Amino acid sequence: MRNKRTLFFLGVLFILACRALSLPFERQPVDNRSTDSVSSPQLSLTQTSSPFPTATSIETETPVATPSQPLSVIFHPDNGLYVGDQVSMEVIASPGHNLQDSTLQVIVQTPISITLPTVKFAPFGIGKRFEANLIWAWDTKGLQPGDYLLDFSIQPSGPNWTETVSLLPAEDIPSDEKGAHWTFDESDCCLVYYITQTAAERDMDQLLETLDEQAEIISQRMQSEFTKPITVAFIPRVLGHGGFTSSEISVSYLDRNYTGESTEMILRHELAHGLDNQLGGDLRPTLFIEGLAVYASGGHFKPEPLLPRAAVLLNNHRYIPLAELTDHFYEMQHEISYLEASALVQYLVDVYGWQRFSSFYRDIHPAPHDERQSAALNIALEKHFDLSLDELEQKFKETLRQQEIPPQANDDLNLTVDYYDTVRRYQQMLDSSAYFLNAWILDGKEMRQRGITADYLRHPNSKIHLALETMLQEAGEDLSQSVYGEAKDLVLAVNQVLDAVEQGEADPFLASPLAGDYYSVVRNITELGFQPQRIQKQGNRIEVMATHLGQSLHEFVFVWEGSAWKLNEE
């Protein structure tokens, strides 16, 4: 039996469930309120092995866009719109629907019609999804609760359609949002922003120490000092795999971390990006941007031997040719891409030394008449190392063949891939704003100036989401501790539930008794007025850490009494 693990100081991380989603030619009212919804039509959930009272119905919405649906709409903040929100809208073109030169116009029908700014369709996010975004365009302050008609028009050739959107009363806003606001603190390395009444505020003293520790590690490994303070924003929302870096670093930090990363590793990775940005370069291929961050961090999601681990890829025929990886990095399997890229960086540093590698990396420039990053990389390799990309690949692969592969490396790597594929599948199906290719990452500086917190505080949190997220969280913890059997069982159970949802099963949690146990405990905890943050099942005992109207964590224990999980009140 594993030792009990504490929830404190957990770092995290980078549509459905009650987000407004409708189609141009299927005009139906949008109910933004939080429900226990994961699919449509309604599903009544019956009990699995743990007979608490019957659950409420479960619904799922349809995917954001399919080839037969030319456009779809997502409203933000997620999980319900309230009077006072500054509402954003994503209008998404389905693949193959050409809106290259089109614009979006939206008119809100109120007693006095409001015409929102016209915006163009363009690629959005890492995945370059083609969409038109109205960001914080509809200020609902001063409006009355109720249904509003929004007229959408695509110019110059249509279509045109109307959406019905519900604004809920301001007094019904979720309790954890009331009074929450952005504030800041400072450490030696960083200017830190966070939202009050969140786990980041609770743990800020420790977070500031950790930031300085990780910044020092990165400075030593990259043999450079930060030239100016780094801006870091801690957000109480899982987005992507835990962090994003542009002009500032965004890191998810909350108690229910289902992405399997420690705070130290994600901060180290993003700080490496921050220092890399300061050092600059004409063209920094994505292969090396991400590979360098993992190399400098000593691993991707956890400390790991990069070259021996990459050798497993080669042995298992999962190795990606370097030219393909360079030109299509984010299109490849995520964990394999990052591992292979970081192992390549380590190889170059081992052979040529840090200074020669760094000089080469900062001296990559676009190739004449060829936009491919692989073409630019090939020129720089010839200049600095007298090697072509093909010749580098041959030498790199030969080094991988010589690696001694650690015990259980195959199991660990394969399960890591399965686990993160499952995390992304969950996000795509039930919380697409969190999916890394299209994550709802916003301009932090402007968000703070506007005093907006709802885009990060509000996200799908029905019992279904809570059950699946706590299962993924525990699977990630098991994986980090090399408890492969239990991690594999949880990953399988999550996928069984997602399969059932995808297939329209009436009772998706019946697909797995293990998932049913999690759902039963989640339902019982929420009926007590708490929100579960971690659930750890050990045989006939389940330990739960949960919050209630604040940051403080409370512990509950459930025991199996023959036919049901019962709360141990001793």
pLDDT in tens, 141-193: 999 999 999 999 999 988 999 999 999 999 999 988 999 999 999 999 999 99
Predicted local confidence at residue 47, as pLDDT: 31
Q: Are 344 and 322 contacting, i.e. CB atoms less than 8 angstroms apart?
A: yes
DSSP per-residue string spanning 453-511: -HHHH----SHHHHHHHHHHHHHHHHHHTT-HHHHHHHHHHHHHHHHHHHTT-S-GGGG
Q: Which CATH number characterizes residue 153's domain?
A: 2.60.40.10
Q: Which of 34-38, 224-228, 291-295 has the lowest mean pLDDT?
A: 34-38
Confidence of residue 60 (pLDDT cuts 50, 70, 90): very low
Q: Hey, what are 206's tokens?
A: 């420790």
Listed residue (531, 534, 524, 533) closest to 569, CA to CA: 524
Round to whole Å and give the CA distance between 515 and 231.
40
Q: Would residue 129 count as lying in a domain?
A: yes
Q: Would residue 348 count as lying in a domain?
A: no
Predicted local confidence at residue 157, as pLDDT: 86
Round to whole Å and give the CA distance between 161 and 140.
21
Q: Would residue 261 count as lying in a domain?
A: no
Compute how many other C-beta atoms are within 10 angstroms of the C-beta atom of residue 170. Answer: 15
Residue 268 has pLDDT above 90, yes or no: yes
* Mean pLDDT value across residues 475-501: 96
| Alpha-carbon distances of 432 from 70, 163, 312, 422, 466, rounded to whole Å | 18, 20, 31, 13, 16
Listed residue (369, 371, 395) closest to 381, CA to CA: 395
* pLDDT averaged over every residue in the chain: 87
Predicted local confidence at residue 453, as pLDDT: 97
Q: Which amino acid is at 173?
A: I
* Mean pLDDT value across residues 429-450: 95
- Measured in degrees and rounded to the nearest 5, phi and psi for residue 40 equal -125, 135
In 77-128, at which residue ranges do the beta strands (DSSP E only) sit?
Answer: 86-93, 103-109, 114-115, 119-120, 122-124
Q: Would residue 94 count as lying in a domain?
A: yes
Q: Taking the model in full, what pTM does it have? A: 0.86
Predicted local confidence at residue 70, as pLDDT: 79
Round to whole Å and give the CA distance between 393 and 391.
5
Is the bond preceding 77 in cis, omega lying within 30 degrees of 0?
yes
Listed residue (1, 37, 6) closest to 19, CA to CA: 37
Predicted local confidence at residue 36, as pLDDT: 52
Confidence of residue 293 (pLDDT cuts 50, 70, 90): very high
Listed residue (544, 494, 496) closest to 521, CA to CA: 544
- The boundaries of the domain holding residue 63 are 21-172
Confidence of residue 264 (pLDDT cuts 50, 70, 90): very high
Between 361 and 97, residue with greater pLDDT: 361
Q: Would residue 125 count as lying in a domain?
A: yes
In 322-361, at which residue ranges do the beta strands (DSSP E only) sit?
Answer: none
Round to whole Å and give the CA distance between 52 and 563.
10
Q: Would residue 126 count as lying in a domain?
A: yes
- Measured in degrees and rounded to the nearest 5, phi and psi for residue 116 equal -80, 160
Q: Would residue 262 count as lying in a domain?
A: no
Round to whole Å and give the CA distance between 263 and 210.
8
DSSP state at residue 535: E
Residue 310 has pLDDT above 50, yes or no: yes
Listed residue (291, 356, 280) closest to 322, CA to CA: 291
Which residues sit opposite 86 in a β-bridge?
139
As a dihedral over the C-alpha atoms of residue 536, residue 542, residue 547, residue 548, rounded to 10 degrees, the angle is 160
Confidence of residue 570 (pLDDT cuts 50, 70, 90): low
Q: Hey, what are 479's tokens?
A: 């994986």
How many domains would you assign to the chain?
Answer: 1
Listed residue (107, 78, 81, 84) closest to 166, CA to CA: 81
